[in-house]
Amino acid sequence: MKTLALLVTLLISNFIINAQEDPKGVTITVTVPNVTSSEGEVLFGLYDENTFMKAAPIQGQKSKIENGVAKITFVNVPKGVFAISCFHDKNGNNRMDFEENGMPKESYGVSNNNMNYGPPIWGDAKFQVGTEDLDLEIRM
């Protein structure tokens, strides 16, 4: 009987703890404050470690550019580790354009704003998502 009472108590406490968490996830608002022109749009991608620089984003968004600023919000983002990349799609072809030598023709940025020569690195761009909404700024 004591075991049953303990089990019921644990189940109830677990239910209460989990009920306090938002099952839908959090929102991440991303602002790019330094877009160099109002041509085209800024495209954003939210990635996990398995998709970063390898596959389509978990979530993607587009933003018009107003007064040199692009802003979007990712919704229902679960707890975990993620990274965000964005680029200024000046010509509206929905992809990043490159020179013949592999250098990007369009401005880009990643979360944490750690830009080195070469492609973005997961370890530099990743951030933790918990239970609170996030506001991030990415510079291009």
- pTM reported for the whole predicted model: 0.81
The residue range of the domain holding 70 is: 24-137
**Pick from 134, 128, 109, 126: which is nearest to 49 by CA?**
126
Domain membership of residue 46 (yes or no) is: yes
Of 12 and 109, which is predicted with more confidence?
A: 109
What is the number of other CB atoms lying within 10 angstroms of the CB of residue 56? 9
| pLDDT surpassing 60 at residue 130 | yes
d(CA 89, CA 53) in angstroms, rounded, equals 17
Domain membership of residue 10 (yes or no) is: no
Q: Give 57-108 pLDDT, tens digit per residue.
A: 999 999 999 999 999 999 999 999 999 999 999 999 999 999 999 899 999 9
Counted domains in the chain: 1
Query: Structure tokens of 138?
Result: 């990415």
CATH number where 103 lies: 2.60.40
